[in-house]
């Protein structure tokens, strides 16, 4: 063998050894990852199939932020059907006819970024139902009648409801004309006076539209613990003329340590005395006690984890508020809420839409709530921090699960739950490490449990119906 041949043979041998090491590196299996340790929890589905209220999915639109050009498209991507306008305090501060906005203590009136015609255009684009606020703080029934006449006979727009003022417990200019607000005013009202004022407004508006429907209260503005003291005189005085009363929910405003800014404290409100289940139950009891023969519904026309400007408000524009919102929706479904309106559609701090685009609560609306069915069943799970809802109808079954525990994974057991799934399921999962929900398609028949990572929202949909393969009939207790 020549020296050149010898060198070539050695080179080939070296290359062969190198390649073998590369192949070994490629095919050596990785060490198995540590198994996820999850706390088990049992799902229970019970009760009769109940239609979800037609007004359940709502939102409010404020006047301070212009509506984006894709508002109608964005709304169409959600189940939102009822829209409140003007959202928040502007309901008592805005002249709907000329579009003027008044603020206590400010000499100059301003023009809103969203006018009544702007709102109507967005509403009609998605064939929405409207809840229009009328101004009661000025105590001028004639103004309200004039506005209703303008809305219905000039703009040819027919709202589903007129809401009578916003949070009267927080009024400071009661009985003062808008033109005099600039000099400042300090007059408030009380539950009895407000109830009497509502009667005069109803009479004035029904002189224009005898079929007008009304939502009383518009929240109290003095904390949910005082809701009943406002509801009782209102129902006694006007209950037979009210389609609904509305309460507002900012649960973390009322927790024991509202200034402690931690994730675990942020989610405390979901199980507090001011939570959606508790305030709905309390409000319904107050309605029945004050007017046993009335059929007044309870709406939640403003809802967020915490009101703007509070220390815990730093979580409002984040993924975690989406998790909070999803949990509150499950509570609303299980307690058969008539209406829940997250505050608010477009806002930098707490909007479903911000200047950066759709926020976390919008993702919950579009990716999860839009896939829920038209009927709901009572659903519970026996572990704290986990919230569930089950819907059906249209030949499908949907299971929405929310884990608000900050560090605990939960394995929700479906066996013996009263819930049967079949066919191929769609599973959407959203965690804080993902910019958007991910989708997988497991076999529904093999789904004996659902693993919920900490701080996650999951949705399972499968074929079937409440009277078919989706749900056994009757449901297990």
149-185 burial by CB neighbour count: b if 16+ within 10 A, else e? ebbeeeeebebbbbbbbbbbbebebbebebeebeeeb
pLDDT of 124 reads 98
Residue 300 has pLDDT above 90, yes or no: yes
Has residue 15 got a pLDDT over 70? no
Average pLDDT over residues 41-65: 95
What is the per-residue pLDDT for 445?
A: 67
Position 442 scores a pLDDT of 85
pLDDT of the residue at 464: 57
Is the predicted pLDDT of residue 5 greater than 60, yes or no?
no
Q: In the predicted model, what is the mean pLDDT of residues 48-73? A: 95
Residue 222 has what pLDDT?
73
pLDDT of residue 28: 30
Closest by CA position to 120, among listed 85, 147, 94, 150: 85
What's the pLDDT band for 183 if we cut at 50, 70, 90?
Answer: confident
Residues 216-251 have pLDDT tens digits of: 999 998 777 679 999 999 999 999 999 999 999 999
Q: Which region among 48-52, 181-185, 211-215, 429-433 has the lowest average model confidence (pLDDT)?
A: 181-185
Which structure tokens are listed for 219?
Answer: 């929240």
CA 378/CA 179 separation, integer angstroms:
51
- In the prediction, which pLDDT does 276 show? 96
Q: Which residue has the tokens 């008592």?
A: 92
In the prediction, which pLDDT does 423 show? 75
Task: Flag whether pLDDT at 114 surpasses 60.
Answer: yes
Mean pLDDT of 361-375: 97
Look at residue 144 and tell me whether its pLDDT is greater than 90: yes
Distances (CA, A) of 145 to 82, 107, 116, 206, 345: 22, 26, 16, 8, 27
Report the C-alpha gap between 258 and 256 in whole angstroms: 6
Fold of domain 38-44+378-463: Immunoglobulin-like (2.60.40)
Among 60-74, 365-379, 420-434, whose mean pLDDT is lowest?
Answer: 420-434
- pLDDT (tens digit per residue) in 403-436: 999 999 999 998 888 877 777 789 999 999 999 9
Among 81-85, 259-263, 342-346, 461-465, whose mean pLDDT is lowest? 461-465
pLDDT at 395: 81
Instruction: Return the higher-pLDDT residue of 289 and 441.
Output: 289
Domain 53-371, classified CATH 2.60.120.10, yes or no: no
Residues 6 or more apart whose CB falls under 8 angstroms from that of 15 comprise: none
| Side-chain-side CA neighbours of residue 235 (13 Å) | 25
Domain boundaries, the chain: 38-44+378-463, 53-371
């Amino acid at each position: 063998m020549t020296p050149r041949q010898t060198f070539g043979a050695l080179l080939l041998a070296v290359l062969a050894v190198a390649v073998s090491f590369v192949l070994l590196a490629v095919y050596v299996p990785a060490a198995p990852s540590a198994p996820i340790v999850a706390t088990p929890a049992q799902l229970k589905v019970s009760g009769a199939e109940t239609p979800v209220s037609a007004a359940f999915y709502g939102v409010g639109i404020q006047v301070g932020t212009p509506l984006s050009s894709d508002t109608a498209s964005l709304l169409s991507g959600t189940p939102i059907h009822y829209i409140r306008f003007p959202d928040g305090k502007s309901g008592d501060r805005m002249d709907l006819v000329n579009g003027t906005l008044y603020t206590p203590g400010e000499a100059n009136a301003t023009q809103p970024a969203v006018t009544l015609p702007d709102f109507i255009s967005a509403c009609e684009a998605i064939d929405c139902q409207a809840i229009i606020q009328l101004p009661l703080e000025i105590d001028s029934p004639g103004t309200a009648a004039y506005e209703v006449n303008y809305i219905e006979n000039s703009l040819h727009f027919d709202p589903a409801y007129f809401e009578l003022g916003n949070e009267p417990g927080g009024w400071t200019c009661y009985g003062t004309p808008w033109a005099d607000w600039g000099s400042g005013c300090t007059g408030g009202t009380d539950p009895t006076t407000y109830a009497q004022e509502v009667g005069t407004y109803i009479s004035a508006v029904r002189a224009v539209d005898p079929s007008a429907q009304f939502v009383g209260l518009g929240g109290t503005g003095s904390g949910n613990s005082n809701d009943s003291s406002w509801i009782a005189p209102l129902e006694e005085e006007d209950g037979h003329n009210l389609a609904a009363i509305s309460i507002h929910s900012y649960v973390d405003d009322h927790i024991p340590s509202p200034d402690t800014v931690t994730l675990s404290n942020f989610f405390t409100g979901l199980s507090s005395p001011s939570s959606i289940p508790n305030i709905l139950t309390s409000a319904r009891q107050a309605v029945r006690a004050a007017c046993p023969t009335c059929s007044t519904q309870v709406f939640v026309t403003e809802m967020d984890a915490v009101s703007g400007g509070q220390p815990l408000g730093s979580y409002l524009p984040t993924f975690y508020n989406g998790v909070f919102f999803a949990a509150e929706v499950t509570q609303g479904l299980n307690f058969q809420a008539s209406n829940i309106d997250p505050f608010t559609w477009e806002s930098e701090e707490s909007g479903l839409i911000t200047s950066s685009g759709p926020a976390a609560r919008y993702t919950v609306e579009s990716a999860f709530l839009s896939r829920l069915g038209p009927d709901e069943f009572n659903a519970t799970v026996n572990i704290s921090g986990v919230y569930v809802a089950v819907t059906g109808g249209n030949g499908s079954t949907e299971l929405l699960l929310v884990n608000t525990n900050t560090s605990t994974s939960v394995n929700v057991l479906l066996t013996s739950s009263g819930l049967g799934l079949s066919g191929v399921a769609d599973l959407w999962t959203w965690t804080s490490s993902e910019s958007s929900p991910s989708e997988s398609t497991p076999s529904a028949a093999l789904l004996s449990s659902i693993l919920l990572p900490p701080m996650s929202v999951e949705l399972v949909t499968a074929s079937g119906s409440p009277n078919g393969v989706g749900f056994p009939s009757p449901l297990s207790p």
